[in-house]
Amino acid sequence: MRCRRLALGLGFCLLLGMALCFLWMYVENWLPFSYVPYYLPCPEIFNMKLQYKGEKPFQPVTWSLYPQPKLLEQRPTELLTLTPWLAPIVSEGTFNPELLQHIYQPLNLTIGVTVFAVGKYTQFIQHFLESAERFFMQGYRVRYYVFTNDPAAVPRVPLGPGRSLSTIPIQKHSRWEEISTRRMETISWHIAETAHREVDYLFCLDVDMVFRNPWGPETLGDLVAAIHPGYYAVPRQQFPYERRRVSTAFVADSEGDFYYGGAVFGGRVARVYEFTRGCHMAILADKANGIMAAWQEESHLNRRFLSHKPSKVLSPEYLWDDRKPQPPRLKLIRFSTLDKATGWLRS
């Protein structure tokens, strides 16, 4: 008798358990949205305090063999050299490369570069690195960070002394927009993990580009943006900002300084961390609302540069589109796109 009751009791418990299980599975599937933990930022990264090294004040400059700056000079109309918030706009003729070399060389800086080469974009790495070896920060310690889903596809390019490369494997996503919007997250995570210990300044560049002329310490600054080559002569109402109010990247018609290109930005590593982190949070908020900004990351970058104005701006010399004819005002193209079939690349 007792055995039967026990067996009945156990059977009942088993049935109850299975019923609860089925009920749970049903409820789980019935809920309108499911929680995807991958999108949640890791708390420790965002709480991580970066060692602040401080903006290094200018070293005593002993080298004085350069012409005296001419205060009054009728100059032919050229490019604007100062933003309204007094950030320099860098172009050929606004700086003395040798003087800057004497200022920056003794600081023993290491400059980092991040590039993303996912899927078919790995084919661009070779040209990018070879041209960087010729023109990018000659005479400084440089660290390339190549983010790719296929580390084996990263070619071995000979690097000069004091220059090194590390390959960081990342996940490939099915949609190219997804890959593009992940960059901010990946860069900020990588800075927190590694780069803040290894470099002083960091540039985040697109890989499908080549350097064509020197890119040196004139580009170094706290927070650096580059003017997009397609929009430097255009009024702000025509900038391709995100115009939907629901997006965190929204910019109104009456707002805007310049339209900055997503292919080039950088600065002191701590500032780039804050910047990419801020962009990533904004992208996450949009994602939660099911919206993707008009130009993905570039829209968010532009929104953020509006409220956190760059301390230095690079003229379109530093971000050019080779499909455009070079205007006479731009004396020297330093970094430009490779002509390519984007449709095929993104498939």
Binding residues: 116-118, 121, 206-208, 228, 298, 321
Give the C-alpha separation, 54 to 280, whole Å: 25
Cα 163 to Cα 143, 145, 155, 226, 318: the distances in Å are 6, 11, 16, 24, 21
Residue from the set 160, 255, 323, 340 that interacts with other proteins by CB under 8 A: 255
Cα 30 to Cα 17, 26, 27, 36, 182: the distances in Å are 20, 6, 5, 16, 30
Annotate each residue in 305-324 with x if it binds other proteins (CB under 8 A) or - if it does not, as one string. Answer: --xxx-xx--x---------
242 is catalytic: no
Output the six-digit token pair for 152.
Answer: 């084996």
Residues 6+ apart with CB under 8 A from 254: 236
Residue from the set 29, 34, 68, 342 that interacts with other proteins by CB under 8 A: 68
Closer by beta carbon to other proteins, 49 or else 156: 49
The distance of closest approach from Cβ of residue 325 to other proteins in the complex, given in angstroms and rounded to an integer, is: 15
Q: Is 202 exposed, middle or buried (0-12, 13-18, 19+ CB in 10 A)?
A: buried
Closer by beta carbon to other proteins, 108 or else 171: 108
Give the C-alpha separation, 268 to 248, whole Å: 25
The distance of closest approach from Cβ of residue 80 to other proteins in the complex, given in angstroms and rounded to an integer, is: 5
The distance of closest approach from Cβ of residue 89 to other proteins in the complex, given in angstroms and rounded to an integer, is: 8
**Selection from 208, 314, 224 nearest residue 269 by Cα:** 224
Give the C-alpha separation, 243 to 249, whole Å: 8
- The sign one gets for the Cα dihedral 301, 250, 91, 268 is negative
Annotate each residue in 42-61 with x if it binds other proteins (CB under 8 A) or - if it does not, as one string. Answer: -------xxxxxxxxxxxxx
Annotate each residue in 222-251 with x if it binds other proteins (CB under 8 A) or - if it does not, as one string. Answer: xx---x----xx-xx---------------
Annotate each residue in 179-218 with x if it binds other proteins (CB under 8 A) or - if it does not, as one string. Answer: ---------------------------------------x
Closer by beta carbon to other proteins, 115 or else 272: 272
Site for other proteins in 92-121 (CB under 8 A): 94-96, 99-100, 103, 106
Site for other proteins in 270-299 (CB under 8 A): 270-271, 273-275
- Cβ–Cβ under 8 Å, residues 141 and 111: yes
| Residue 138: Cβ within 10 Å count | 15
Residues 6+ apart with CB under 8 A from 35: none
The distance of closest approach from Cβ of residue 290 to other proteins in the complex, given in angstroms and rounded to an integer, is: 25
**Residue 165 sits in the site that holds other proteins (CB under 8 A):** no
The distance of closest approach from Cβ of residue 261 to other proteins in the complex, given in angstroms and rounded to an integer, is: 13
Q: Which residues are catalytic?
A: 298
